[in-house]
């Protein structure tokens, strides 16, 4: 995962009225939330070749203005995880830009009464002139936890993966529960054990499609591993030399596994 701050290269701002100049950066997305890059895999400085649906100024990226541009195009652009593989900086800010893109695409009409919404003059918010509902960018908190027991790490095989890859326990936070309650509940539901000494480590914006991943470590307390056979197919304890590492290091999951390996004898 990217360790440096988003704000190292980027200064947040928002304005719908500013239009791009030729030296500005454009984060151009198609309807599949893929990013357009030129032949040298750089951001374009013009969108004239596209049929533009909307364009917002979202702040300064490396000292120049940055815009989110949503276009109609039959071409396939770059999926975000692919951008990560060759340019972490670009991926970092594109991960924010795509969430702004999704927010506007999803809330042009009020979800409560169906009326066309209006952009707020100051904040990144869409207001409903009919019922008064405010629509902010939607971020879904989710937890992921590395559970240790005597130098071993618990990993599970999820049914939605078509490979036999093992992963850490993770899940979305339910309405009404705290982050900590979400971790204890997910672990109990997915593998049937109780944990203790829950410790928050770090978080990661995860725009696939709109999560905020909160990473924890914990220790095994009690219970036998029991999987539901539906969402989780298998789960077991791994010694550090039994863990298979994959090439991509995009996720906080990867960071947590590496942290286990680095801090285990």
CB 146 within 8 A of CB 200: no
| Residue count (the chain) | 265
CB nearer Zn ion, residue 9 or residue 133: 133
What tokens does 117 get? 């919404």
Could you say which residues in the range 186-225 bind Zn ion, by CB under 5 A? Answer: none
Asked whether position 133 contacts Zn ion by CB under 5 A, the answer is: yes
Largest CA distance in the chain: 62
Q: How far is 238 from 140, CA to CA, in rounded Å?
A: 30
Q: How far is 232 from 191, CA to CA, in rounded Å?
A: 8
Render 215-257 in DSSP notation, one character per residue: EEEEEEEE------SSSEEEEEEEEGGGPPP-S---SHHHHHH
CB 1 within 8 A of CB 249: yes
Could you say which residues in the range 79-108 bind Zn ion, by CB under 5 A? Answer: none
Number of C-alpha atoms within 13 angstroms, CB side, residue 131?
11
CB nearer Zn ion, residue 73 or residue 106: 106
Asked whether position 126 contacts Zn ion by CB under 5 A, the answer is: no
| Cβ at position 105, least distance to Zn ion in Å | 17
Peptide bond into 209 cis (omega under 30): yes
Helices in the chain by DSSP H: which ranges? 80-86, 88-106, 179-191, 252-262
Among 6, 12, 52, 113, binds Zn ion (CB under 5 A): 113
CB nearer Zn ion, residue 133 or residue 149: 133
CB nearer Zn ion, residue 116 or residue 223: 116
Piece of 73-81, 97-105, 125-133, 209-217 that binds Zn ion (CB under 5 A): 125-133
CB nearer Zn ion, residue 133 or residue 259: 133
User: Which of helix, strand or coil describes residue 13?
Assistant: strand
Piece of 132-140, 155-163, 177-185, 234-242 that binds Zn ion (CB under 5 A): 132-140
Asked whether position 131 contacts Zn ion by CB under 5 A, the answer is: yes
| Cβ at position 56, least distance to Zn ion in Å | 21
Among 98, 110, 156, 213, binds Zn ion (CB under 5 A): 110
Asked whether position 112 contacts Zn ion by CB under 5 A, the answer is: yes
Q: Footprint of Zn ion on this chain (CB under 5 A)?
A: 110, 112-113, 115, 128, 130-131, 133
């Amino acid at each position: 995962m990217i360790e440096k701050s988003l704000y190292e290269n980027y200064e947040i701002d928002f304005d719908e009225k500013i239009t791009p100049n030729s030296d500005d950066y454009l984060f151009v997305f198609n309807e599949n939330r893929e990013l357009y890059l030129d032949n040298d895999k750089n951001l374009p400085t013009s969108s004239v070749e596209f049929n533009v649906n909307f364009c917002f100024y979202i702040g300064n990226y490396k000292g120049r203005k940055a815009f989110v541009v949503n276009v109609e195009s039959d071409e396939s652009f770059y999926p975000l995880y692919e951008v990560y593989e060759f340019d972490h900086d670009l991926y970092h800010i594109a991960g924010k830009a795509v969430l702004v893109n999704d927010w506007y695409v999803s809330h042009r009409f009020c979800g409560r009464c169906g009326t066309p919404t209006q952009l707020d003059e100051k904040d990144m918010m869409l207001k409903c002139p009919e019922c008064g509902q405010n629509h902010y960018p939607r971020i879904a908190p989710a937890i992921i936890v590395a559970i240790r027991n005597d130098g071993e790490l618990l990993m599970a095989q999820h049914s939605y993966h078509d490979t036999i890859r093992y992963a850490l326990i993770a899940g979305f936070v339910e309405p009404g529960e705290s982050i900590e309650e979400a971790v204890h509940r997910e672990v109990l539901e997915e593998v049937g054990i109780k944990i203790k000494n829950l410790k928050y480590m770090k978080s990661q914006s995860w725009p696939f499609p709109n999560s905020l991943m909160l990473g924890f470590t914990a220790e095994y307390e009690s219970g036998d591993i029991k999987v539901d056979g539906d969402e989780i197919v298998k789960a077991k304890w791994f010694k550090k030399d039994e863990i298979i590492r994959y090439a991509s290091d995009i996720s906080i999951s990867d960071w947590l596994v590496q942290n286990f390996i680095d801090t285990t004898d």
